[in-house]
Structure 1
Amino acid sequence: MNVLIVSHLYPTPNDSVPGIFVHQQAQALIERGHTVRVISPTPYVPNVPYLSNRWERFSDTPSRAHIDGIDVSYPKYLSLPSRHTLPLIAKSVRHTVGTAISDIVSGGFSPDVINAHVPLPDGYACIPSCQRLSVPLVTTVHGASIQISSESRLCRRQIRTVLQSSEEIVFNSNVLLGKANEHFTGLSRAKTIPNGVPLTELDSAPVAKLPDRLDENRMVVTSLGSLQSTKGQADVFDALQRLPTESRPNYLLVGDGPRREQLEQAAANLDSPVRFVGTVPHEEVFSYLKATDIMALPSAEEAFGIAYIEAMACDCAVVGCEGEGPSEFVEHRETGYLVPPDDSKALAGLLSELLDNPARTQQVARNASEYVRENLTWAENARKNEEVYQSAIGRSSTRGYST
């Protein structure tokens, strides 16, 4: 079938990390024999000096690209630098995406289904085109679209319109679906399809050489994720501070973000080896994970957590938080570990246990890898999404659209 993916969360030729999970799903759908096109609405940013990193990545985004065999369009929309303006941005994106869809159809691509990632702005942008073309809309919901957007009454109204207009709704975790049920009704038909790992790319990645000044005789603990308060890297520092100096592991932080300066100050006060790797290409992430014994990310707001399953597939023992996304695929002490959120004392006790029992830690890591490789791959994700698309197409003849 012809699948049109609409997602502002998508890699660009100059930045391969944001939205890599959407790209990997698209690749898996192609491997199953489907034709996939992508529209990734992108903020219009003039190419001027002194732009922040957040906006600079958009200034040189091309209008079109061909990434790993997938044609991607990056139509520009007028944006505003605040998430409080999202209802207005959604209107702007709707116009931009509508024009882009018309151009693709005029060029000969006739979609059988449109899959929007996420409700705002992408799903909202697709509604008029789906109605005009009589093409079913499938909306895939990721964490931030519910946890952040639902704080606004206007955003909730727009999200409600998207959910009502979608033939099928997909959540990437039951945790996220539960949070959505707190704000929206009529989600009894929603499906849960977890994200996956790209096994071919993962298995081909070499093991990274440890950065300078790390001790090869110590185990390696890594936190993979944006350096922000909710991810819990500060709790890892607090936990390591509680351990005897001679027992502390190497600590790697892969990623970047607004809390880096504060975390670097914490590192300066910790008498053990710490290195900030920063943002790296996705394939290098796997290399660092292959050099890691424990991936500790006690994130207090995690709808799913791709970082955890990628680490599990790389034979890491993972540590996440109870009640968050990882609790759906981590069986405590069997395929990983779960600690209470915001509890560095409990985390310190667990890390001490894992560091003192490397054989057991390695066995749990092997269990985790086996589980992910059997259950959480992009091939399995694509198979389940294919079933959703077929269901949406079958239902579309009797479905109306809300505008």
Structure 2
Amino acid sequence: MSEFWLRGIRKMRVLMLSHMYPNSVSPLGGIFVRQQAAALTQLGVDVRIVAPVPWVPGLMSGRGKWGGYPAVPFLEQPDGFPVFHPRVLEFPRSMFFEYYPETFAYGIRKVFLEQIRQGVDLIHAHVAHPDGAAAWKFGQKYHLPVVVTIHGQDFAYTLKRSRACAESVRATLKGASQVILVSEKLKNQYGLETWADTLTKYKVIYNGVDLEEEIPMENPSKVADRHRLLSVGFLRPDKGHAMVLQALPELIREFPDLDYRIVGDGSERQSLEALAKELGLDRHVVFLGSLPHHEAMREMSECDVFVLPSWKEAFGVVYLEALAHGKPIIGTQGEGIAEVLDKTEVGIAVPPKNVQAIIAAIRELFRHPKRAQEMGARGKALVNREFTWRHNAQKTLEVYQEALKAH
């Protein structure tokens, strides 16, 4: 079938599998997968999405964390292409995670077979386990090339979770026709050369941003007459919010109007709020919780400096969103975003878990607002040039073509 597409007779047909894809229960989850799919569609690719959600008994509808899943429709088309939500068996706290490729393959079987019957050129799975492992089962049986994107959790968490999970990740990547990594960090820091079948099929393609969602500001200085910091991300220890909070007392002595706004929610919220209170930061810190994407972007447009000193970050899209808004960024050395910071003067990379380095970086940007604005301007130009979703889709399409030719 791919030969017909290569001759220009019809569109390439891609079946994309991602349990992270946004839905009504998790509208922001995996938004980068949705944005990539939309960009591929704009390039003329016929994309169909299979985005499984957990099966939940009807009697639990509306109750607890998973109570909204029964209301997620089986089929929707919010962006003009079909998004299927078959039910798969999952367990709280990812218990029995090593068996998820089997439960996923069983749950998605009917919709996968129907789409394959209608015509599919290749399968693209986001994450190796469980999505990629489940996709590979269908790829093998129906002789379809499989492309797998690694976003970070496969290497940072799944490889270490259990021997069965590690074997699943490695077998899936060895079986895949092509593998996309979202940062050089993923290629260089997890020993790929010791277990990958061939490094040539591993391609680094950075995530992008949707520039149409950027909120223009006529005069950002009128938004708030303060030195404003912003963090956007899940409230987990590895995101580094606590490090920023610990940096604030010293900074406030020099910048008494400092304002730190935190967008996001998670398991650490109560402890972070307690830490802010303990440090006497009530007048300087605002926990905004999880916000719709457009509201988070408005916060982005109104800050002076974006800071997220995360030490487990493959390549966070949120940094690119900050750059797209013309903001200097503070990230962490050795993480995915450092690949950008090391090559371009658009922000500052600090050592991981280093409060004094965070203080120094914020102080530098606040003391020299002109330099900070120049960083932001360079960052905005960089994103427009190299980090749009269209750029990502063009590179991804090249990987698809390689997979089809080699299969």
Q: How high is the TM-score relative to the length of structure 2?
A: 0.90
Q: Does 1:149 align with 2:161?
A: no
Long gaps (5+) in structure 2: 1-11
Structure 1 residues 114, 369: closer, same or farther in 2, change over 3 A? same
Other-structure match for 2:226: 218
| 1:350-369 equivalences in 2 (<5 Å) | 350-369=361-380
How far apart in 2 are the matches of 1:3 and 1:49?
Answer: 33
| Secondary structure class of the residue paired with 1:3 | strand
Q: Does 1:331 align with 2:339?
A: no
Q: Does 1:257 align with 2:269?
A: no
Structure 1 residues 187, 255: closer, same or farther in 2, change over 3 A? farther
Other-structure match for 1:230: 238
Other-structure match for 2:134: 125
Other-structure match for 1:376: 387
Opposite residue 184 of structure 2, the aligned amino acid is N
Structure 1 residues 28, 49: closer, same or farther in 2, change over 3 A? closer
| Secondary structure class of the residue paired with 2:82 | strand
Match among 107, 128, 132 for residue 96 of structure 1: 107
Residues 174 and 196 of structure 2 are in contact (CA less than 8 Å); yes or no, is this contact kept in structure 1?
Answer: no
| 1:72-221 equivalences in 2 (<5 Å) | 72-106=83-117, 108=118, 110-151=119-160, 152-181=162-191, 184-189=195-200, 190-202=202-214, 205=215, 216-221=224-229
Q: 1:175-208 deviations in whole A, cap 9, x for unaligned?
A: 0122342573224121100000111222xx3559
Other-structure match for 2:39: 28
| Secondary structure class of the residue paired with 1:29 | helix
Residues 25 and 69 of structure 2 are in contact (CA less than 8 Å); yes or no, is this contact kept in structure 1?
Answer: no
Opposite residue 99 of structure 2, the aligned amino acid is L
| Secondary structure class of the residue paired with 2:57 | coil
- Could you tell me how far 1:266 is from its partner in structure 2? 2.2
Residues 207 and 287 of structure 1 are in contact (CA less than 8 Å); yes or no, is this contact kept in structure 2?
Answer: no
Other-structure match for 1:401: none
Q: Does 1:346 align with 2:357?
A: yes
- Could you tell me how far 1:146 is from its partner in structure 2? 1.5
Structure 1 residues 342, 97: closer, same or farther in 2, change over 3 A? same
How far apart in 1 are the matches of 2:307 and 2:35?
Answer: 24
| Secondary structure class of the residue paired with 1:270 | coil
- Could you tell me how far 1:49 is from its partner in structure 2? 6.5
Structure 1 residues 239, 188: closer, same or farther in 2, change over 3 A? same
Q: CA RMSD in A?
A: 2.2
Residues 98 and 125 of structure 1 are in contact (CA less than 8 Å); yes or no, is this contact kept in structure 2?
Answer: no
Structure 1 residues 316, 87: closer, same or farther in 2, change over 3 A? same
Opposite residue 168 of structure 2, the aligned amino acid is Q
- Could you tell me how far 1:159 is from its partner in structure 2? 1.1
| Secondary structure class of the residue paired with 2:212 | helix
Other-structure match for 2:397: 386
Q: 1:89-119 deviations in whole A, cap 9, x for unaligned?
A: 221112222322012234x3x1111100010
Residues 62 and 68 of structure 2 are in contact (CA less than 8 Å); yes or no, is this contact kept in structure 1?
Answer: no
How far apart in 2 are the matches of 1:187 and 1:141?
Answer: 16
61-70 or 268-277: which moved more?
268-277
How far apart in 1 are the matches of 2:97 and 2:50?
Answer: 19
- Could you tell me how far 1:333 is from its partner in structure 2? 7.7
How far apart in 2 are the matches of 1:65 and 1:217?
Answer: 44
Q: Does 1:270 align with 2:280?
A: yes
Structure 1 residues 62, 29: closer, same or farther in 2, change over 3 A? same
- Could you tell me how far 1:242 is from its partner in structure 2? 2.0
- Could you tell me how far 1:170 is from its partner in structure 2? 0.7
How far apart in 1 are the matches of 2:401 and 2:272?
Answer: 47
Other-structure match for 1:400: none
345-354 or 58-67: which moved more?
58-67
Residues 208 and 291 of structure 1 are in contact (CA less than 8 Å); yes or no, is this contact kept in structure 2?
Answer: no
Other-structure match for 1:66: 77
- Could you tell me how far 1:388 is from its partner in structure 2? 0.5
| Secondary structure class of the residue paired with 1:115 | strand
Opposite residue 123 of structure 1, the aligned amino acid is G
Residues 97 and 126 of structure 1 are in contact (CA less than 8 Å); yes or no, is this contact kept in structure 2?
Answer: no
Give the percent of matched residue pairs that are identical in Structure 1 and Structure 2: 33
| Secondary structure class of the residue paired with 1:82 | helix
How far apart in 2 are the matches of 1:319 and 1:187?
Answer: 35
Residues 98 and 126 of structure 1 are in contact (CA less than 8 Å); yes or no, is this contact kept in structure 2?
Answer: no
146-155 or 56-65: which moved more?
56-65
Q: How high is the TM-score relative to the length of structure 1?
A: 0.91
Structure 1 residues 366, 395: closer, same or farther in 2, change over 3 A? same
| Secondary structure class of the residue paired with 1:176 | helix
Opposite residue 295 of structure 1, the aligned amino acid is F
Structure 1 residues 283, 370: closer, same or farther in 2, change over 3 A? same
How far apart in 2 are the matches of 1:157 and 1:307?
Answer: 31
